[in-house]
Structure 1
């Protein structure tokens, strides 16, 4: 009996002291890895060609790109969001409500008060009215409060290779993002922004971030998520570079005698179409004495009401930031209310 117990304990000791066996992939685990690779973007031949382009044209590190594209998959909600932009499907009187709420106006006034010296400097240097700079930041991200929580690399890749309608545009922005990430030292997949890839409190697309973002506070770093000063300078720089005219009105309200003969001219194009004198000959009367080239804007300001404005170059410059008349009018109306509140 004693011999049996001795043999039993010897067995236990040998089992406990045996060297652990190296872990091997089960068939199931290997299958999961194969599926993960098959679903990843690097399995896409177009992506592989794009990687070769980045390596050849920009001397990008191939291993970084292969690893990055192998780790992400198509994000369906990005495509859905791109097809349902509120500026496309929502009438102005509903669209503008969220931007003209008292809270956003008050926060704009507070933003202006704490950044007054920098706003006045930007206005002097770039010719852009300080309250327009503030309002644009207010509409874009509520002054930096809502900058987006989607991985920009995944979003831009999805839109580049699975959104044919604008694939060329987003592929150029993906290229710019990769160059920007390398310049700024960002890890791919570590930068959050909007569903369309816009960055920071200014919501610059990567190409604009590369060309127009400024280190306005002079600390050696361009920081458009946390630096209100860099954001101020960058917005002013953007608007000036896109044609903002110092001291010019963006629009004036107008009355229209008969809309039917000129209906095709309402909300047409991205630039002023006719002189004010020509509009007057067509029955459009501006609310104040103005001249120059203008476009005719018509927006639904109530369920059964359309209001009209003569819009000048500065209005269309704001549209360069976002090609929506509803957007531009919201920015400029918010700017007016912030200025009025700050001067009280």
Structure 2
């Protein structure tokens, strides 16, 4: 019979220590690998901690819950890339409009309009915002709710708040609003998806707009612009009403101008979209409307690049209201032109 003698005491202890060391090493390695895999997390990020501190102190949030949210949030480089190349910065008007003024978008808009005709009529009656404008916004933003975004909202907002310095202040505010919104509605912040900029639902509301302008339009005591088109319709209408839409007011007028008109008469930057000149003043500068407008009406002169020249327009008060949704003259013109096509096709 083979007899195996036990290890000497000191060798036995050494073996136990080696096993313990190996176990600790494996545990440490696993932790390092896990941390490396989540190097894009915002756990421990100084700016994230500042947001947590403020929300705990001022809004009564639970610190541990916020820590968990930040640890789960992930930086998305593709979001930063998308922010640096929006279509209105990279495309001329004659290409940009082709994105939105398509046959398919018009056909789906007519179908959406007909499906929700009663809701749209009620929204127009209560707010004065034309049904076709409401539908066009939803059509331009999300293809009538079909394409609402593929990024987790929490990832979009943390990435832009903490890793996009140029607009960090704005997106930090939106992140705080999103966390307050999800808490107040009992929503898990990780559950919802939106655009690369954190816009949400049928109408692509930013969190601050959601909290300020989204409404319960079907009376079920819930505000849901992600899944409920009735609430979405009412919320878009309410947004425009709250931003000063004038019922029955004009939006734009086509204009004429020649090459001698200085470029600085026309919109150059987003901050120039608010009308600051009267129709009469613009006429003196060489930009004249092609139909009758009151001389004292406030207007913004705009020119849009075509493949072989320019077309000229005057943006009136309601055009400026559309730009409050998205600060881009090309965006607002796309919404307006789509709305007119929809109005013609549904007979409104």
Which runs of 5 or more structure 1 residues have no equivalent in the other structure? 5-22
**Distance in 1 between residues matched to 2:33 and 2:168, nearest whole Å:** 30
CA contact (8 A) 1:272 1:294 kept: yes
3-state SS, counterpart of residue 98 of structure 2? coil
Shift of 1:123: 1.0
> Separation in 2 of the partners of 1:226 and 1:45?
35
Distance 1:42 1:78 in 2: 19
C-alpha contact 2:273 2:329 (8 A) present in aligned 1 = no
Shift of 1:36: 5.1
User: TM (normalized to structure 2)?
Assistant: 0.89
How far the C-alpha of 1:122 sits from its partner, in A, is 1.1
Matched, 1:260 2:263: no
Q: Are residues 74 and 94 of structure 1, via their aligned partners in 2, closer, same or farther at CA, if it must alter by over 3 Å?
A: same
The within-5 A match list for 1:196-235 is 196-235=197-236
Q: How does 1:178-189 map to 2 (within 5 A)?
A: 178-189=179-190
Shift in Å, 1:270: 2.1
Query: 1:319 maps to what in 2?
Result: 323
My pick for the range that moved more, 101-110 or 273-282, is 273-282
Matches within 5 A, 1:1-344: 25-35=26-36, 39-256=40-257, 258-268=258-268, 269-291=272-294, 292-300=297-305, 302-343=306-347
Within 1, Cα distance between the matches of 2:232 and 2:98? 24
State the 1:186 CA deviation: 1.2
Pairwise CA distance, 1:144 = 0.1
The CA deviation string for residues 255-274 of structure 1, in whole angstroms up to 9 with x for no partner, is 11x34343201114121121
Q: Which runs of 5+ in 2 are unaligned?
A: 3-22
CA distance in structure 1 between the aligned counterparts of 2:195 and 2:145, rounded to whole angstroms: 13
Q: Distance in 1 between matches of 2:210 and 2:261?
A: 43
Task: Give the deviation of 1:45 after TM superposition.
Answer: 1.6
C-alpha distance 248-47 of structure 1, shift in aligned 2 (>3 A) = same
Task: Report if the CA contact (8 A) 1:100-1:334 is conserved.
Answer: yes
TM-score (structure 1 length as normaliser): 0.90
Instruction: Report how far residue 68 of structure 1 moved.
Output: 1.4
Could you tell me how far apart the structure 1 residues matched to 2:339 and 2:42 are?
43
Alpha-carbon deviation of 1:285? 2.1
